[in-house]
Amino acid sequence: MIAHTGLVFGRFMRASYRQPALIAFTLVQPAIWLLLFGQLFQGVVHIPGFGDSSYIAFLTPGIVMMTALMTSGWSGTSFIQDMERGVMDRLLASPVSRGGLMAGQLLSNATTTFIQTILVFAIGIAAGARYDGGAVGYLVTIAASVLVGLAFGSLSNAVALLTRQQEALIGIFQFVSLPLTFLSSIMIDPTVAPHWVNVAARFNPVNWATIAARQSLAADPDWSSVGRYSLYLLAFTLIVGWLSTRAFRTYQRSV
Amino acid sequence: MATHALEAADLVKTYPAGRKKPPLRALDGLSVSVPEGVVLGLLGPNGAGKSTTVKILTTLSRADSGSARVAGYDVNREPDQVRHAIGYVPQKSSSDPMATGLENLVLSGRIFGLSRHDAVQRARDLLERFGLSDHGDRPVRTYSGGMQRKLDVALGLVHRPKVLFLDEPTTGLDPEARADLWNEVLRLSGQEGLTVLLTTHYLEEADRLAGQLAIVDHGRIVAEGTPEELKAGLRGDSVQVELVDPDTDGTVRSLLAQLPGIDEVLVEGNTLRARVDRGATAVPEVLGALEDKAIPVVAVTVSRPSLDDVYLQLTGRSFRVTEEAA
C-alpha cells in the first residue's frame, strides 16, 4: 500500500505542477478571503466579551481551516475525471491497493493545504497578526489544517465515487461547507454567538481544528484542550478515510 | 492443448432500478469459454451485455450469480491473481490526459510491481512498438484519438498479461487508425500466443480479427463458432430488394414468399431480405413477380452470407437496425 500511495501521489503532484494557473488561483483565493473578511468584520472585536483584541490575529487560523475545507471539497473531481475516462476502471481491474489509491490522492491534496496554510500565515503576519505562542503553535495549526484537508478530501472522494457526477459533488459540498464554516469559531468568538451555534459547533470537525490551532498559538495554551480536539480530529479523519476507501466497493458494484 | 484461458458459466447480472429507469437484466445466464491463444470476438449491439461480461471477467464488477475462471483463477475468490494475469482496455480511453505517454506506461508498470528501471524499459519498448516513440514525452491530451487508443492497448500490455480484454477497441476511430490497431491485435495473438477477448459491434472487425465468435443478444450467447462455421450454417445466398414504397400491408412479402426456392423473407421499411437457394436463378423470378404486379423497384442485390445475415437470422433483427435503435 505504501508503494502504491507514493506512485499515486506522484501522479497527482505532477498533474498539479502542469496547471500553474490552477496553483495560482488556489493560492490567491485564501489571501483574498483573509484580507476581505479581515476588513469586513474587524469591528467585531469591539463587541463586549470578544476574547481577542486583534481581529486579524483571531481570523488567520480560522481562514487556514476554512481554506483547508474549501480546497478539499474539490478533491473528488480528480476521481470523477478518472471515472469519466476509463482510468478508474483500468486501475480497479489492476492490483493497485485501494487504500493507496485513496491515500495518494489525498496526500497530494494535503500538500496543497500545507502550502496554503503557510501562505495564509505569511499574509496574516504581514497584515499585523502577532502570536505569543512558540513554533509548536504553528506546527499544531499546520497539522490540524492537513487533517481537515485529509478528512474532507476523503469525504469528497467518497461522494465522487458514490454519485459519479461533478454537479452532484459540487452541489453537496457547497451545501455542507458554508454551515461548517459559519457554525464554528472561524470568524466569530463563540462567546458572542447564540447558544445554539455553540452547541452545533461542538460537533463540527472544522471547529475542533480551529480551536486547537488558536489555543496552541496563544500565549498560555491550554494543552489539554489542544490535545483533546486534535485527538477528535484525528479520529474523525481516520474513520472517514476508512469509510471512503470502502466506497470503491460500492462503485464497483454499480459498474 | 485444450486448456481454456477463460471460462464463464451462467453469469447473471442485474442492475438495480434507478431514477427514471427500470431494473436492467444485463446478463441472463451467459456462458462462454476461450481456448488459450485464441482471439474470441464477443459480437452484439449496444446493450447486449458485452461490456458487462468484460467487467465481470476483469474483476471490476461482480456477477449476481454464475462463476468464471480467468487464467486459471476464480474471479470471485482470487481477484488479485486474476488482476495480475490480465490486461484490461476499457471502452473509454484509460490514459491520464495530464501525464505523458511514457509516464502513463511507467506508472502502470510500477503498479504491477516492476522496478523503476524495468518499467521505463518496458514503456519505451511499447511506445516503439505502437509507433509512439516520438510522442512519449508529450502529454496524452495532445494525442489524436488513434494514438490514445494505441496507448490504451499498450497500457493493457505493460505487465505481459496472459489474457487481454479489449472492450470495443476501435469505436470512434478513423479507418486508417482502425486498420493499424487491427494489425497490432493480429500480431499479438499470432506471434505472442496471447489470449484475447474482444468486444465489438463491427461485424467487419469480428470477421477480421476473431478466430472464434460468440454472438450476444439480450445477455445470452445465441451462437458460437468460427466466422466461417457461422456463415456456413446459412444455406444459399441473400437477396435484397429495395422498393420505392414501403411494403406496409405485406403484399410484396407474401408475393415473394410464394416463389419456389425462397424462404425467410424479412421486411425492414423499404427493404426486403430473403434467403434463397441460388441467387442467380432467384433474381429473375423475383423481378418478374414484382413486374407482374407493377411494383416499382429501386435496386436488387445478391450477396454471399455475411455475419450480418447470421445475426439477422439468429435475432430476427438486422444488425444495423438494432444499432440505430440503441
B146 vs B152: CA distance, rounded Å: 10
Residue indicated by cell numbers 468568538: A189
Rounded to whole angstroms, what are the CA distances from A190 to A111, A199, A202, A216, B162? 30, 10, 10, 17, 63
**Residue contact B91–A7, C-beta within 8 A:** no
Q: Residues 6 or more apart from B77 whose CB is under 8 A from it?
A: none
**Residue contact B90–A89, C-beta within 8 A:** yes
Which residue, among A221, A175, A179, has the nearest Cα to A61 in the 3D structure?
Answer: A221
Nine-digit cell at A117? Answer: 496554510
Residue indicated by cell numbers 498533474: A15
A210 vs A145: CA distance, rounded Å: 8
Searching chain B, which residue's CA lies closest to the CA of residue A15?
Answer: B98
Nine-digit cell at B81? Answer: 491473481
Cβ burial of A13 (10 Å; 0-12, 13-18, 19+) is middle
A181 vs B149: CA distance, rounded Å: 45
Q: Note whether B148 and B140 are within 8 A (CB).
A: yes
Looking at residue A40, its amino acid is: L
Q: Note whether B147 and B121 are within 8 A (CB).
A: no
* Closest by Cβ to B61, choosing from A7, A82, A252: A252
**Residue contact B88–A15, C-beta within 8 A:** no
The DSSP line for B5-40 is EEEEEEEEEEEPPBTTB--EEEEEEEEEEEETT-EE
Looking at residue A61, its amino acid is: P
Helix A205-217 to helix A135-163 angle (10° resolution) is 170
Q: Note whether B23 and B17 are within 8 A (CB).
A: yes
Question: For residue B322, what pLDDT is reported?
Answer: 54
Residue numbers in B near A4 (CB within 8 A): 111
Nine-digit cell at A49? Answer: 466579551
Mutate to test the interface with A, among B96, B120, B140, B142 (most CBs of A within 10 A): B96
Cβ contacts from A onto B, under 8 A: 78
The angle subtended at Cα B110 by Cα B106 and Cα B113, nearest 5°, is 150
Sheet with B212-217, side-by-side order of all strands: B86-89, B163-167, B195-200, B39-43, B212-217, B220-225
CB-based contact (8 Å) between A17 and chain B?
A: no
**Residue contact B90–A4, C-beta within 8 A:** no
Question: For residue A126, what pLDDT is reported?
Answer: 92
Helix A2-17 to helix A20-40 angle (10° resolution) is 80
Residue numbers in A near B59 (CB within 8 A): 93
CB-based contact (8 Å) between A92 and chain B?
A: yes
CB-based contact (8 Å) between A87 and chain B?
A: yes
A141 vs A226: CA distance, rounded Å: 10
Which residue, among A78, A65, A22, A75, has the nearest Cα to A187 in the 3D structure?
Answer: A65
Give how far A94 is from chain B: nearest CA, Å.
5
Domains of chain B, each with CATH number or no CATH: 4-231 (3.40.50.300), 235-304 (3.30.70.980)
With a cut of 80, say whether residue A53 has pLDDT above it.
no
Cβ burial of A139 (10 Å; 0-12, 13-18, 19+) is exposed
Cβ burial of A74 (10 Å; 0-12, 13-18, 19+) is middle
CA atoms within 13 A on the CB side of A13: 14
Nine-digit cell at A240? Answer: 472517514
E strands, A59-159, are none
Give how far A97 is from chain B: nearest CA, Å.
9
Helix, strand, coil fractions of chain A, as percent rounded to 5: 80, 0, 20
Whole-model pTM: value is 0.85
Give how far B183 is from chain A: nearest CA, Å.
23
Give pLDDT tens digits for A206-240. 999 999 999 999 988 899 999 999 999 999 999 99
Q: Residues 6 or more apart from A50 whose CB is under 8 A from it?
A: A44, A189, A191, A192
Sheet with B73-74, side-by-side order of all strands: B24-35, B4-15, B65-70, B73-74
* Closest by Cβ to A7, choosing from B60, B90, B110: B110
Searching chain B, which residue's CA lies closest to the CA of residue A101?
Answer: B111
Residue numbers in B near A19 (CB within 8 A): 98
Give how far A99 is from chain B: nearest CA, Å.
13
Searching chain A, which residue's CA lies closest to the CA of residue B98?
Answer: A15
Nine-digit cell at A226? Answer: 489542544
Terminal Cα-to-Cα distance of chain B (whole angstroms): 40
Report B:81-100 residues touching A (Cβ under 8 A).
Answer: 83-84, 86, 88-99
Pairing of strands B271-276, B262-268: antiparallel
Which residue, among B226, B218, B234, has the nearest Cα to B45 in the 3D structure?
Answer: B218
The angle subtended at Cα B172 by Cα B167 and Cα B177, nearest 5°, is 95
Which residue, among B189, B291, B139, B51, has the nearest Cα to A15 in the 3D structure?
Answer: B139
| pLDDT tens, per residue, chain B with 326 residues | 447 899 999 999 998 887 777 888 999 999 999 999 999 999 988 888 999 999 999 999 999 999 999 999 999 999 999 999 999 999 999 999 999 999 999 999 999 999 999 999 999 999 999 999 999 999 999 999 999 999 999 999 999 999 999 999 998 888 888 998 999 888 888 877 899 999 998 888 888 899 999 999 899 999 999 988 888 777 778 888 888 888 888 888 888 888 887 877 888 888 888 888 887 888 888 888 888 888 888 888 888 777 777 777 777 766 655 555 44
